[in-house]
A and B are shown apart, each in its own frame.
Chain A
Amino acid sequence: DAGVIQSPRHEVTEMGQEVTLRCKPISGHDYLFWYRQTMMRGLELLIYFNNNVPIDDSGMPEDRFSAKMPNASFSTLKIQPSEPRDSAVYFCASSPGSSGNTIYFGEGSWLTVV
């Protein structure tokens, strides 16, 4: 079975540009998560969805960040405008259910904002 698929794997963009990261969760999983990983802050949960509905976005750092899940097989994380401090690895993950079920991670999108 295919795992969580993220694109792009690597992106370098200029400050002020819009960045869109994409994720396809594992089929049948009800939960989708966006995490950000940096050296300074480690792994942080940005937002998660249940059945395509955002449940908790308290980790989204600023209004420049937005996430959508228009259907069960696709989600986007958008940064507009991007800033150098947004440089990080962004992971999408999915899970088949709540309360401790295993969360499966994609391989990440490595974002560099110059």
Chain B
Amino acid sequence: AQSVTQPDIHITVSEGASLELRCNYSYGATPYLFWYVQSPGQGLQLLLKYFSGDTLVQGIKGFEAEFKRSQSSFNLRKPSVHWSDAAEYFCAVGGHTGTASKLTFGTGTRLQVTL
């Protein structure tokens, strides 16, 4: 069964500082990996996704993530955080088979940004 672990429930960073949110997955084959962001009272917005190819993927809002197969990780990074990045971030995994449209989400990491 596929699963996602986001070990950090809550992270606080200062505006302008760098950010890394951790994500580890479990999947029997090459996964599809996603990062979504959820602002309070809103739905989930896709930040970026990895399907294949280059293991460093760029997303919206200056975010990037790196797929590391050997570590089963897909950590999200941003070099300089803005106050508007405060939100909850979800990592998700899907697969390549016919039923792979169903994503499994991690429990989320809540990001707080201090000024």
Q: Is B105 positioned at the interface, with any CB of A under 8 Å from its CB? A: yes
Main secondary structure of the interface of A (DSSP, over half): strand
The B-contacting residues of A in range 22-49, CB under 8 angstroms, are: 31, 33, 42-43, 45, 48
Secondary structure at the B interface, as helix, strand, loop or mixed, is loop
Interface size, chain A (Cβ < 8 Å): 25
Report the interface size for chain B: residues with CB under 8 A from the other chain: 27
Q: How far is the CA of A107 from the CA of B99 in the complex (A)?
A: 24
Q: Are B101 and A105 in contact (CB under 8 A)?
A: no
The interface bits of chain B over 87-107 (1 if a CB of A lies within 8 angstroms of the residue's CB, else 0) are 000100011111111111111
Bound together, the chains give a CA A98 to CA B95 distance in angstroms of 9
Q: Give A112 Cβ to nearest chain B Cβ, in Å.
A: 14
- Residue B46 CB within 8 A of the other chain: yes
